[in-house]
Structure 1
Amino acid sequence: MVYTLWSIIWIIIGAVIIIGGIYYGYISGTYGLFGIREPNWGIILTAGIIGYIIISLGTIAALFKILAEITAEEVEKRVKPSVS
């Protein structure tokens, strides 16, 4: 449950960056032939890659955080009865 919430947060952050990059890439594009706006593919691609990296690393970090907590709880449960 907690992993899912953290993953959703990282997905939202990454998606905002990707969507912002797409928007800014189209807004900052130049006018080409016949007055049609050509998107700035450099901005779009860069924002897409950064957003994807944030989503990937954020969900992996959330997974490691949750796995560490679960492992610590299991070790504590198994060590505690043998000490008594």
Structure 2
Amino acid sequence: MTKSHGPSIKDDELYEDLRDDGMSKEKAARISNAKAGGGTPSRNGGSAPPYEDWTRDELYKRAQDIGIDGRSSMAKDDLIEALRSH
């Protein structure tokens, strides 16, 4: 039987499968919730411009919101890489 992860996880079974595959809790939750809503995560996005079009200050703010360590010493390309690999 699949364990209930509370109301914040919409598809508990998919969440557990993703965690078993080695995904982080955050990433597994995002994917399982997006798929539970009837869509595919890769097709739901796309409205924001690519990171290359953002200013360094915008990238820094986004990295700060996410909590990426070492962001203050990163150049624009480093911030883009850190955001994409988060």
Q: Which has the larger radius of gyration?
A: 1
**TM-score of Structure 1 vs Structure 2, range by shorter chain:** under 0.3
TM-score normalised by the chain length of structure 2? 0.22
Considering Cα pairs closer than 8 Å and 6+ residues apart, tell me whether 1 or 2 has the greater RCO. Answer: 1
TM-score normalised by the chain length of structure 1? 0.22
